[in-house]
C-alpha cells in the first residue's frame, strides 16, 4: 500500500493504489499540452509532471472510515478482461491484498460508492470465485447515481466503448441480480458525515463525495478532474468527458467552492501526495499539495 492516509475530523481517508502511470502531455487531456504544463510548472513539478513533461496519473481507491462505516469510493480497473490496449491494465489481485492490508478486507466493507461507471472505477465491484461471478464486497451496499445508471442503460455499445464504459456487463449489471445496489440521487446522504454531490460533465450522473467531520471537510473528486493542471486551467477537459462545456463549469464551481477554505481536495487520479488545498496565488487559484 502507498501509506497515504488523511484525517478529516474523526474520519480517515486511506489511498489504496492499484496502478500508477506517466502519460504524455496532451494525451488523455488534449488541452494539457507541454506549453500549458510548462506555464504551470511551479505548481506541478515534480510531483504531477516529471522532468520530461509527462503527467502522473494514479488509479486508486479512496477508503473512508467514519460513523462506524467502512466506505470504498471507486473500485479501480479490476480483474475482468478488457479490450485492446486496456488489457494490460487488468489487475492480478494485488489490489485486494493492498486493500486488506489497509484495513479494508472485502468482507468488512459496508458501502461502495461508484462516482461514475467508467471501467477504472467499477472493476473490482465483482470478481470470479470458483467460476462464479460474485460481489467482491459481499456485505456492502453499492451506491450508484440513478441518472448515471439510466444514461449507460440507454447508451449504445459504441458509446460505451468510446467512453471506456466497457465492463458494465461484468461489473455493474450483475449487481442488480445480487440485490446489492441502491440507485440514489446525486445529492444522496450516505451517513451523518458523508454525502454525494453532483459534478456532471465527465459523465451525466457523475458524483463527488464530501466528508464533514468535527470542524474539517474533505472532497473526493472522482473524475470531474483527472489531473491538478485542470484546477488551474478548468477548460482543459479530459478526452473522454461526455460534455466538456459542462465539465468545465463543474471544475470552475469546484475551484470556487474550495478556494481558500481549508477544504482538503483528494484527487481520484492525482499522484502522491494526492491531496491538497486550493489557494489564491499571484497566478490565480492553484492546487497546493499537502505533505
Enumerate binding residues for Zn ion (CB under 5 A): 118, 223
102 contact partners, CB below 8 Å, separation of at least 6: 1, 14, 16, 63
The residue sitting closest to Zn ion, measured at its beta carbon, is: 118
d(CA 105, CA 232): 37
At closest approach, how far in Å is the CB of 215 from Zn ion?
Answer: 32
**Residue 282 CA: distances (Å) to CA of 42, 230, 231, 278, 286:** 12, 17, 15, 13, 9
Between 199 and 213, CB nearer to Zn ion: 199
d(CA 182, CA 242): 24
Between 48 and 203, CB nearer to Zn ion: 203
**Residue 155 CA: distances (Å) to CA of 87, 134, 142, 168:** 23, 25, 21, 11
| Residue 232 φ/ψ, nearest 5 degrees | -90, -30
At closest approach, how far in Å is the CB of 86 from Zn ion?
Answer: 13
Between 192 and 239, CB nearer to Zn ion: 239
Contact indicator for 47, 274 with CB cutoff of 8 Å: no
d(CA 65, CA 44): 30
Alpha-carbon Rg for the chain in angstroms: 18
Between 2 and 164, CB nearer to Zn ion: 164
Between 53 and 198, CB nearer to Zn ion: 198
| Residue 83 φ/ψ, nearest 5 degrees | -80, 145
Contact indicator for 47, 22 with CB cutoff of 8 Å: no
d(CA 112, CA 125): 8
At closest approach, how far in Å is the CB of 222 from Zn ion?
Answer: 8
At closest approach, how far in Å is the CB of 122 from Zn ion?
Answer: 10
At closest approach, how far in Å is the CB of 138 from Zn ion?
Answer: 26
Between 223 and 233, CB nearer to Zn ion: 223
At closest approach, how far in Å is the CB of 62 from Zn ion?
Answer: 14
Amino acid at each position: 500500500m502507498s501509506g497515504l492516509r488523511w484525517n478529516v475530523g474523526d474520519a480517515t481517508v486511506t489511498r489504496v493504489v492499484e496502478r500508477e502511470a506517466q502519460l504524455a502531455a496532451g494525451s488523455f487531456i488534449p488541452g494539457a499540452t507541454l506549453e500549458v504544463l510548462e506555464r504551470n510548472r511551479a505548481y506541478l513539478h515534480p510531483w504531477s509532471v516529471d522532468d520530461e513533461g509527462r503527467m502522473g496519473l494514479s488509479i486508486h481507491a479512496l477508503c473512508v472510515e467514519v460513523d462506524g462505516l467502512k466506505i470504498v469510493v471507486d473500485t479501480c480497473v479490476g480483474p475482468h478482461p478488457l479490450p485492446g490496449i486496456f488489457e494490460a491494465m487488468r489487475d492480478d489481485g494485488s489490489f485486494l491484498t493492498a486493500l486488506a492490508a489497509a484495513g479494508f478486507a472485502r468482507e468488512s466493507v459496508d458501502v461502495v460508492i461508484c462516482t461514475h461507471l467508467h471501467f477504472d472505477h467499477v472493476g473490482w465491484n465483482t470478481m470470479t470465485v470458483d467460476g462464479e461471478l460474485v460481489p467482491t464486497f459481499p456485505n456492502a451496499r453499492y451506491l450508484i447515481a440513478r441518472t448515471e445508471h439510466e444514461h449507460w442503460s440507454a447508451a449504445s455499445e459504441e458509446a460505451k466503448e468510446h467512453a471506456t464504459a466497457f465492463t458494465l456487463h461484468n461489473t455493474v449489471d450483475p449487481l442488480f441480480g445480487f440485490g446489492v445496489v441502491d440507485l440514489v440521487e446525486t445529492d444522496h446522504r450516505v451517513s451523518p458525515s458523508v454525502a454525494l454531490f453532483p459534478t456532471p460533465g465527465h459523465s451525466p450522473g457523475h458524483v463527488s463525495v464530501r466528508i464533514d467531520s468535527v470542524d474539517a471537510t474533505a472532497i473526493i473528486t472522482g473524475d470531474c478532474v483527472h489531473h491538478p493542471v485542470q484546477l488551474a486551467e478548468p477548460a482543459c477537459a479530459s478526452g473522454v468527458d461526455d460534455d466538456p462545456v459542462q465539465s468545465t463549469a463543474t471544475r470552475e464551481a469546484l475551484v470556487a467552492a474550495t478556494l481558500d477554505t481549508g477544504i482538503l481536495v483528494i484527487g481520484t487520479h492525482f499522484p502522491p501526495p494526492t491531496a491538497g488545498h486550493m489557494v489564491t496565488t499571484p497566478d490565480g487559484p492553484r492546487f497546493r499539495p499537502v505533505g
